[in-house]
Amino acid sequence: MKPRDYDLSAFWMPFTANRQFKAAPRILVSAKDMHYIAEDGRRILDGTAGMWCVNAGHCRPRIVEAIKKAAETMDYGPIFQMGHPGPFKVAERLRTMLPGDLDYSFFTNSGSESVDTALKIALAYHRARGEGHRRWLIGRERGYHGVGFGGTSVGGMAPNRKAFASLLSYVDHLPHTHNLEHNSFSRGQPEWGAHLADELESRIIALHDASNIAAVIVEPVAGSTGVLPPPKGYLERVRAICDKHGILLIFDEVINGFGRLGASFACERLGIVPDMVTMAKGITNATVPMGAVAVRRHIHEAVMNAAPENSIELFHGYTYSGHPLAAAAALATLDLYAEEKLFERARQMEQYFEDAVHSLREAPHVVDIRNFGMMAGIELETMPGKPGARGYQALVRAFERGILVRVTGDIIALSPPLIAEKSHVDELTGTLGEVLRGLD
């Protein structure tokens, strides 16, 4: 291994045990298709599509070329009161991919920005309709919606919240749907848990009154908390309650979108049309940061119509909204997904992947395995008094053996690129089985 020509100390790494990492770093230096290359030259099988985002596999020439060309043609274009072709084209494409009348897209640079944008649009929508008193935003326990103040507030992962005392006020949370007693080892959507949606009405609306609630935001399949597929009928009930009370429903599809569930979006797969969809990650195959919020026609119209003619309708946006490189990457990515039929491919691979991950059921420490689409969570028993220690050990040992997995606490998450062959799935679960058998 060549000695590093850089020092590790100055970079404050995100969501990382910095001191532990810097004492024994795991550095990746290149990538191609299903593999990373580590700095010591080892090939690492990507079991997580980077971080749930490299859905078409790494360094795909078509996307790389499109980015290069865009950089040469116009490196940047202002996007407030000016335009350039890329984002208009991407928005048109998204319109054809999304169900219902989710016809308008607002561009951001990340999932976190998409979430905060959607929450702001919800508030602006209600105000435009003369219901500015609708300020409550409802998330869900164990939800992850990024790291902006809005997303952190509606998010429900305790460690992400506890250090940041003053999050948004007027936020409440639905209960999560994870229950080992009723749902363990479910394949696909669990049978138990639809009734948990009723808390929206029986507790949250009863307490705050529907007339004060702007929006509910959920991940259809919660990802970062360790893969929690929605119980059968649960999201349908949430949709019905929101409809009954004029509350907007936001699906956070930052992970679920772009084929992860064997369809363009979870809302398409599940046959439920939310009022807004937040997305990022797979939109550009993670090559250039980009996020988007798709909104339904009534939301767009309400905000447009409330503003005086020839005035800015929504005072919101980012310097890099619809950046030319991101837009070029998105168009090439969406072409690639379509040409290689990667969403259909994911759907076809789903059963094989499910059987492979569930084959780990008898491995030591495993207390639950769950999956939906090309996402799976493997929950390990926590070491007494050491939450997360066993999960971290699994991550390190897996990396040593040449596979990349993600862990959240003591839950291992798998989400390989959608180009994965059966042999990759076998290697991933086979190696993980060996790792699990060797854990403390």
Judged by the rule CB under 6 A, the positions of this chain that interact with ligand PLP are 110-112, 115, 144-146, 219, 223-224, 252, 254-255, 280
Closer of 282 and 435 to ligand PLP (Cβ): 282
Closer of 51 and 307 to ligand PLP (Cβ): 51
Integer CA distances (angstroms), 409 to 26, 147, 364, 370, 395, in order: 18, 18, 17, 16, 11
**What residues contact 15, with CB distance under 8 A and at least 6 apart?**
none
Phi and psi, residue 44, nearest 5°: -120, 120
Q: Which tokens hold the place of 164?
A: 């940041």
Q: Using the 8-state DSSP alphabet, how is residue 4 labeled? A: P
**What residues contact 271, with CB distance under 8 A and at least 6 apart?**
99
Question: Could you tell me the smallest distance in angstroms from the CB atom of residue 224 to ligand PLP?
Answer: 5
Closer of 177 and 224 to ligand PLP (Cβ): 224
In angstroms, the CA 321 to CA 410 distance is 36
Question: Could you tell me the smallest distance in angstroms from the CB atom of residue 52 to ligand PLP?
Answer: 6
Closer of 87 and 223 to ligand PLP (Cβ): 223
Q: Which residues face 248 on adjacent strands?
A: 215
User: Chain centroid to CA 176: how far?
Assistant: 17
Closer of 38 and 280 to ligand PLP (Cβ): 280
Question: Could you tell me the smallest distance in angstroms from the CB atom of residue 278 to ligand PLP?
Answer: 7
Question: Could you tell me the smallest distance in angstroms from the CB atom of residue 338 to ligand PLP?
Answer: 23
Q: Which residues face 32 on adjacent strands?
A: 35
Question: Could you tell me the smallest distance in angstroms from the CB atom of residue 267 to ligand PLP?
Answer: 14
In angstroms, the CA 69 to CA 326 distance is 12
Question: Could you tell me the smallest distance in angstroms from the CB atom of residue 422 to ligand PLP?
Answer: 27
In angstroms, the CA 284 to CA 345 distance is 19
Instruction: Quote the Cα angle for 90-376-424, to 5°.
Output: 85
Question: Could you tell me the smallest distance in angstroms from the CB atom of residue 222 to ligand PLP?
Answer: 8
Q: What do you get for the CA distance between the two ends of the chain, in Å?
A: 30
Closer of 223 and 416 to ligand PLP (Cβ): 223
Q: Which residues face 44 on adjacent strands?
A: 36
Closer of 116 and 410 to ligand PLP (Cβ): 116
Closer of 247 and 375 to ligand PLP (Cβ): 375
User: What angle separates helix 111-128 from helix 297-306, to the nearest 10 degrees?
Assistant: 60
Instruction: With CA atoms as reference, report the closest residue to 176 among 152, 188, 158.
Output: 158
Question: Could you tell me the smallest distance in angstroms from the CB atom of residue 191 to ligand PLP?
Answer: 24
